A and B are shown apart, each in its own frame.
Chain A
Amino acid sequence: MRAFAVIVIAMLAAAAQSLAYAHHSFAAFDRNKKVVLVGVVKDFQWTNPHAWIQLEVQDAKGDKTEWGVECGSPNMMARTGWKKELLKPGDQVAVTVNPLLDGKPNGSLVSITLANGAVLGPGDAPPPKPLGSSSAR
């Protein structure tokens, strides 16, 4: 239980990180709301323009709901440490999402905590480099 609390705190910290999306409108998601889901990976679609995690989440009554979790694009994800092999069916993970406004079980990934404790975001731009740190021509 304590481990789970640590995970949630870590995820809330990660949730404060900004998002960077370019593909399309994210107006369908509630950017002001964050939902933490703990579940089992059913499928990981490492695809363009966005990767998707299908996550099976069990509630207190034992009822299961499958959530679709939309990530960034594989190029943006790869630049922030993601790999296709990072998630496999059966992996237990905790994710924070901005849920759909219409209440359906579908969210935009804010951050994920893997079974090994690693925390990743939805993918982002290349890490910035201050001017003067890379050699000129």
Chain B
Amino acid sequence: MRGALFVLSLAAMLAGCGAPQPAQDEAAKPRNAGDRGFAGVFVPIGSFEDPAGPPPFQNTRWPAKPPFTEWGAAESQRLKDPTSLKVCSPNGPVFFMSEVGIFPLEFLEAPDQIVILREASGMPRRIYMDGRGHPDDVEPSWMGHSIGHWEGESLFVDTIGLNGLARAMNGVGSNARVSEDDAKPRMPSSEQLHLVERMKLVANGELLEDELTINDPKAYTEPLILKHYFQRRPDIDMLEYYCNENPRDDSVVAGSKSK
């Protein structure tokens, strides 16, 4: 038996000699998101009562006086009215990555893709990691077209192709006043939104930091830069959420009288 194993091993070695493989630098081999610690469930830090979260890793708050263009200022006013909201309209990528800690996110890995799920959102963010660029004729969509690449331990994600119909980037577009942030101006985004993100792990790998650079020349005269943090929570399972199952509160959303 041992002899047979030896013969097999020898045959394998000889076969290897017959077909030499190109030398591969181990360090240069691509590693997946899971190896880098990006896969799994994360909960956004912060709460309605304390949107920034505890120091030292605090979410950047939206500016009190945003650098609006004329269109941006008018759109911000329009979004203050709860009746401007389409019931159950999707969030868009910025709100997806910047809400405080109610709904967890889950980073999943597929071949040549990183997919981010958000419990409150039926639509995932899909980040192509296969080296492709954005299409020249990108089709406008709610979450846009995202491509990503690694630089060291940081994941860079570039997103364009938004349809400009998402909710305000800083929330539900209501005057509910559940958070101090709800008193701040609504932050619209347009089809010109170009979002650049740098994601990396901090706090000994326990937090994921997402630095969002928001370029939207239709709405803002200069880029907006925010940092948001997500805590790794392997103790939490993702659950379901579906906006339109029993929409009794449509009347509230639409601003008409309650049933």
Contact = CB atoms under 8 A, between A and B. Distances in A.
Interface of A: 18-28, 31, 45, 47-50, 52, 68, 70, 73-76, 78-79, 100, 102, 104, 106, 124-126, 128-129, 131-132, 134-137
Given A25-B82, A125-B101, A128-B101, A48 B245 contact: yes
B204 interface: yes
Interface residues of B, number: 52
B178 A134 contact: no
A124 B178 CA distance: 13
A26 B232 CA distance: 30
A125 B47 contact: yes
A47 B120 CA distance: 14
B170 to A, nearest CB: 12
Given A22-B120, A48-B241, A134-B235, A27 B82 contact: yes
A132 B247 CA distance: 40
Interface in B161-219: 172, 174-178, 201, 203-207
The secondary-structure label for the interface of chain A is loop
Nearest to B240: A75
Contacts of B247: 49
A31 B43 CA distance: 27
A68 B247 CA distance: 13
Contact of B232 (A21, A27, A137): A137
Majority DSSP secondary structure for residues of B touching A: loop
Contacts of B104: 126
Given A27-B252, A28-B252, A104-B257, 10 more contacts: A19-B178, A20-B102, A22-B120, A25-B253, A26-B174, A26-B252, A28-B258, A125-B102, A136-B232, A137-B37
B43 A125 contact: yes
Contacts of B259: 106
A106 B100 CA distance: 28
A23 B177 contact: no
B246 interface: yes
A132 B243 contact: no
